[in-house]
C-alpha cells in the first residue's frame, strides 16, 4: 500500500503565492476529488506535485511512502510511482507513443516485450482507435482522443498514485465515461496489483458521476476550505463555490464571494 502525503504546501509562480497551505493524504485505492473554481490553484497543485518547471515551492512537504518527492526530478517522481494525467496533453511532433512508453518502462526496469499487445488491449478497453497508436504523441488528436491517450498511458505505466488534472475538460460524454471507468477500475483492482490512489482535480461535478470519490475537498484561494464525503460534491452542485469561498478569505468575504461568482458564472 502506498501513501502520498501533502503537508502545509505553499507554492507560487513568479513570486506570487498561489497555494497557501495544502494538506492532503491519498492512499492506494482511495479516490479524492479536489474541486475548485478557476484560479483556485488546482493546476498549480498538480504541477507542483509532479515537478513541472516554473513553480516555486515556498514551504511544506510532499512525500510518497515517506520519501521526499520535492527533492526528485520529474522523471524520478514518475518512476517512484506518481503519474500526472494532464489537462492539456502536449503535442510532441515526430515522437511515437510506443517509443516513449518503451523508454518509460525501461527506466523502471520493466520489460517491453509485451508492450505492443498491452497497448492494443488497453486501447480496446477505453475505445481508443488502434490507428492512433501509430501517430506522434497527441498530434492531430481531438480533445477526447488526447484524454483517452492519457488514460491509456496511465493504464500501461500502472503508477501507485495518479493526479488527474481536469480529466473531464474537453471530453465528450462517451470519452469521459470510458476514461473515468478505467480509472475507477484501477482504483478498485484486487490481487497482485496494488489498487490505484487517485487525486482527481476538477472544476465540475460531472466527472464524479462516473468516478466515485471517497473524499471530496474544496479548494479556494489556494487552500482546502472544506473536506467531506461524496455528499459535499452534491452540496457544491446545489450551492455553488461562493458558499465555500467565504471561508477561504473571511476578512473580505463579500468581495471574494462576488469575485468568484463572476469567475464562475456557469
Partner 1 sequence: MSTFTPDAVRELGGGWSEFRLAALDRFAAAPLPTPDEEIWRYSRIDQLELDRFVPATCTTTIDAPDGLVVDAEPELFPDETPDVFAELNRAFMSPVVIAVPAGRTVADPIVVTHTIAGSGTAVFPRLVIDAGEDSDVSVIERFVAADGADDDTALVVPVLQVHAAQAARVKYLAVNEVGERTWQIGNQQAVGERDSTTLLATVTLGGDYVRARTEARLSGQGGTTKQVALYFAGGTQMHDFRTIQDHDAPHTSSDLLFKGAVQDHAASVYTGLIKIRKHANGTTAFQTNRNLTLSEGAWAESVPNLDIETNDVKCSHASTVGPIDEEQRFYLESRGVRPEVAERLVVLGFFEEVIAQLPAGEIADDLRFRVSNKLDLTGARKELAGTPS
**Does the footprint of partner 1 cover residue 108 (CB under 8 A)?**
yes
Q: By CB under 8 A, tell whether 100 contacts partner 1.
A: yes
Give the bridge partners for 178, in sequence order: none
The DSSP-derived string for 188-253 is H--SSSPPPEEEEEESSSTHHHHS--SEEEEEETTEEEEEESTHHHHHHHHH-THHHHHHHTGGGH
Instruction: Decide if residue 197 touches partner 1 (CB under 8 A).
Output: no
- The secondary structure element, H or E, covering residue 19 is strand 16-27
**# chain residues binding partner 1, by CB under 8 A:** 32
Check residue 92 for interaction with partner 1 (CB under 8 A).
yes
Using the contact rule CB under 8 A, the part of the chain among 73-81, 119-127, 181-189, 224-232 near partner 1 is: 73-81
Q: Which stretch binds partner 1 (CB under 8 A): 18-26, 93-101, 140-148, 198-206?
A: 93-101
109 touching partner 1, by CB under 8 A:
no
Q: Are 150 and 163 in contact (CB under 8 A)?
A: no
Binding to partner 1 (CB under 8 A) within 33-72 occurs at: 50-53
Candidate residues 57, 58, 70, 102; the one interacting with partner 1 per rule CB under 8 A? 102
Residue selected from 86, 155, 171, 199 as contacting partner 1 according to rule CB under 8 A: 86
Task: For partner 1, give the closer residue by CB, 92 or 255.
Answer: 92
Amino acid at each position: 500500500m502506498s501513501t502520498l502525503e501533502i503537508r502545509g504546501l505553499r507554492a507560487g509562480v513568479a513570486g506570487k503565492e498561489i497555494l497557501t497551505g495544502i494538506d492532503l493524504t491519498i492512499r492506494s485505492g482511495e479516490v479524492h476529488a479536489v474541486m475548485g473554481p478557476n484560479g483556485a490553484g488546482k493546476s498549480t497543485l498538480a504541477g507542483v506535485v509532479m515537478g513541472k518547471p516554473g513553480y516555486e515551492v515556498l514551504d511544506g512537504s510532499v512525500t510518497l511512502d515517506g520519501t521526499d518527492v520535492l527533492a526528485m526530478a520529474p522523471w524520478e517522481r514518475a518512476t517512484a510511482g506518481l503519474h500526472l494525467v494532464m489537462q492539456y496533453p502536449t503535442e510532441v511532433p515526430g515522437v511515437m507513443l510506443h517509443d516513449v512508453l518503451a523508454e518509460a518502462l525501461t527506466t523502471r526496469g520493466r520489460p517491453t516485450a509485451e508492450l505492443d499487445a498491452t497497448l492494443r488491449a488497453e486501447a480496446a478497453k477505453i475505445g481508443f482507435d488502434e490507428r492512433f497508436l501509430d501517430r506522434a504523441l497527441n498530434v492531430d488528436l481531438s480533445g477526447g482522443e488526447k484524454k483517452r491517450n492519457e488514460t491509456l498511458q496511465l493504464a500501461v505505466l500502472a503508477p501507485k498514485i495518479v493526479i488527474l488534472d481536469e480529466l473531464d475538460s474537453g471530453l465528450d460524454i462517451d470519452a469521459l465515461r470510458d476514461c473515468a471507468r478505467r480509472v475507477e477500475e484501477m482504483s478498485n483492482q484486487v490481487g497482485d496489483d496494488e489498487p490505484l490512489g487517485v487525486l482527481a482535480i476538477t472544476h465540475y461535478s460531472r466527472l464524479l458521476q462516473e468516478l466515485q470519490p471517497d473524499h471530496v475537498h474544496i479548494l479556494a484561494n489556494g487552500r482546502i476550505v472544506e473536506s467531506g464525503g461524496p455528499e459535499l460534491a452534491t452540496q457544491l452542485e446545489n450551492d455553488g463555490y461562493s458558499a465555500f469561498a467565504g471561508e477561504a478569505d473571511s476578512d473580505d468575504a463579500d468581495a471574494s464571494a462576488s469575485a468568484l461568482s463572476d469567475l464562475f458564472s456557469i
